[in-house]
Amino acid sequence: MDRELLQSLYRYCLCLTRHGPAAEDLLQTAIERWLSSAAKPQYPKAYLRTIIRNQFIDDCRRLKRIDFDPIDEHAPALLDETCMEQVALQHDLIEYLFSQLNAAEREVLYLWAVEGFSAAEIANDLGQPRGSILSRLHRIKIKAVEIMQNETTTAQSNGQGS
C-alpha cells in the first residue's frame, strides 16, 4: 500500500462523509478490517472501497445521519490562465454542489469525475444496473446546471455580470 493509494482512499472517504475527521476514522476502520481479514485480494483498492462503502452505510444507519432514498457524463474542466478568485468561486460552487447531493450521488460523482470510471464500471463496482448509474449521473448534471444558472442570475442581479 503506497501513499497514492491512501490519498485516493481518503478522498473517497471524504467524498462520502464530507467531514475530514470522519473520513480519517472511516479510512482507518477500513484498513484495520483489511489487515485483519484472511483474504488479501490482488487489487486492494476495489476491496477497500467496498469495505469503506459498507462501513459508511453501517455508520449512517447506526447514527441515522442520512435518509435512505431508493437508488434508482462531463469531464472536469482543466484550468488554464484562470485567476485565483475564479478558482475560489469554482471551489465554492463544487462544495455547494456536493452539499446538495445525497451520499449515493456523491459516491457516483466521485467515482466518475475523480477516479475516471465509466458508468459500466461504476455499476459493476456498486452492484447496480448501468441504467440506474446513468440516471443518477443525469440528475447530478441537472443539479449542477441549476446551481450554475442560479449563480449566474445572482451575480447579474448584483451588477457583477455583463
- C-alpha torsion sign, points 1, 32, 48, 96: negative
> Which residues contact residue 47 at a Cβ distance below 8 angstroms, ignoring those fewer than 6 apart?
34, 41
Q: What does the pLDDT read at residue 73?
A: 42
pTM of the model: 0.55
pLDDT beneath 70, residues of the chain: 64-91, 155, 159-162
What's the pLDDT at 112? 85
Q: Kindly list the domain boundaries of the chain, sorted by start residue.
A: 3-63, 84-157
What's the gap between Cα 41 and its chain centre? 24
Residue from 100, 26, 14, 9 nearest 63 by CA: 26
**Whole-number pLDDT of residue 160:** 56
Q: What was the pLDDT predicted at 20?
A: 86
pLDDT of residue 89: 57
CATH topology of domain 84-157: Arc Repressor Mutant, subunit A (1.10.10)
Cβ-based neighbour number of residue 91 at 10 Å: 10
The predicted pLDDT at position 10 comes to: 92
